[in-house]
A and B are shown apart, each in its own frame.
Chain A
């Protein structure tokens, strides 16, 4: 399959089941909601080192938030049920609670699994907290120097998908970056999906484990590292001198698939040789995203 001169490899992305929560942060202005969301989702690129993966899903208009103010929707993922509330309590307490004007709401009210996050953070009020039930949802009011911080008592948790991805194999680093930027731009505001890495892009796609250092969980993917083409078995076609990866996490497989479709389409630019994807042979992750099937309606067969 070729789209706009770029080969879509006959391979698939392999993704894992993770636990996901959706946090809605509102503020007096979109800027302050964003400031809180940026801090909340900072250092949350990969569970390998950050214990969680998080990112801004999209910005919300006044009409979409419970308090009628501009907001930001954040997706927050961990590998297991236990670490999601731990991470949320620590991070929301240090970032959203501290940020001027913000309030914090659950974005998955229908999820039956409830995480007592606001319930834990209320004790910051040292006994001066108060609660309100509005429309069947309980909120905690935490008095702070600015005024009052409002946070929902519980947040929904559901199964999500982590590790959807595709690789941009380009003739040079500038072309890879331009294609990655175009892909990220196209995927901005895709519902149910976040791109947890810096600017949505990863340059250091890794393999599992190490061939030399036994305490390393993940090390460089030499098969895709152009500088190692001559000294290690390489997966790079001739003429490829730089590879960038886009990693997608989301609430469900169809959302990831939809985002991959628009992202891959946007990445098919000049200087890009092919689009590939990372997998582990199909045995580790339950979710498979075959590139050619996803792009089925977007291009002509090769």
Chain B
């Protein structure tokens, strides 16, 4: 395992895109410390901010208050990234594989897309054990984003496919412009008017998904979400309309 411990706290945005487990798996300790990052737009090295332990491993742990760190795990294709603490914006942006776990809050655009890109996340899993900012899972093509706390505006905005699960509340514009894909809401969700009610039922794939999250990802999934009924809203009807918001409706 590679452990990156924050040594010098950043004072401005610290861009970490490219510091991904699949890449660290190829590098020696010295090469990892020399990886280029940007601090407030200026070139710097990863080792300027982090103490590096371990090398050549696709399992990476990042420790410290990383609220100013941007793009943790962005573009990663495999491996495992654990963030011990809060993370900044763009966690796992455009990732295509592997797993990210944030043990704290995450900023905006977690599992989202690069600015202007047609597609965001193309695969893999992001678990945020805390709150997420705006646009979690935006323009996702495939993959899974789980938020155990609340999620902000535009969760799953423009999803092409994939799944976003929020245990807490979801802000306005959830799933706006969604083509396919699922937003599973255990708490309240502000639905756009372009989602239309279909039925109340027990979706079999939600059972499988929640059991997977509980047993394989160790999340605190309560039984009533696994066995419960969900209101199915189809949308976005201003788009393809094959997406859905599944809102928990009771046992």
Q: Which residues of A contact B (CB under 8 A)?
A: 66-69, 103, 130, 132-135, 139, 141, 147-150
Contacts and interface: CB of A to CB of B under 8 A. Distances in A.
B208 A148 contact: no
A132 B226 contact: no
B216 interface: yes
A68 B211 contact: yes
B182 A132 contact: yes
B242 A132 contact: no
Given A134-B209, A135-B216, A148 B201 contact: yes
B207 A67 contact: yes
Contacts of A130: 180, 242
A134 B208 contact: yes
20 contacts: A66-B208, A66-B211, A67-B204, A67-B208, A103-B208, A130-B180, A132-B163, A132-B205, A132-B208, A132-B209, A133-B142, A133-B144, A134-B209, A135-B216, A139-B205, A141-B203, A147-B203, A148-B201, A150-B204, A150-B205
Contacts of A103: 204, 208
A66 B207 CA distance: 9
B202 interface: yes
B197 interface: no
B203 A148 contact: yes
Interface string B211-245: 11000100000000010000000000000001000
Contact of A148 (B180, B204, B212): B204
Interface in B126-170: 142, 144, 163
Nearest to A102: B204
Contacts of B142: 133
A63 to B, nearest CB: 9
4 closest A-B pairs by beta carbon, nearest first, are A150-B204, A67-B207, A147-B201, A135-B212
Interface of B: 142, 144, 163, 180, 182, 199, 201-205, 207-209, 211-212, 216, 226, 242
Contacts of A67: 204, 207-208, 211
Given A132-B182, A135-B216, A68 B207 contact: yes
B208 A139 contact: yes
Nearest to B200: A147
Nearest to A131: B161
Given A68-B226, A132-B182, A133-B142, A147 B208 contact: no
A134 B163 CA distance: 9
Contacts of A141: 203-205
A140 to B, nearest CB: 9
A130 to B, nearest CB: 7
The interface centre, meaning the residue of A103, A133, A141, A150 with most chain B CB atoms within 10 A of its CB, is A133
B202 A150 contact: no
A128 to B, nearest CB: 8
B80 to A, nearest CB: 14
Nearest to A69: B207
Contacts of B211: 66-68
Contacts of B201: 147-148
Contacts of B203: 141, 147-148
A130 B144 CA distance: 16
Contacts of A147: 199, 201-204
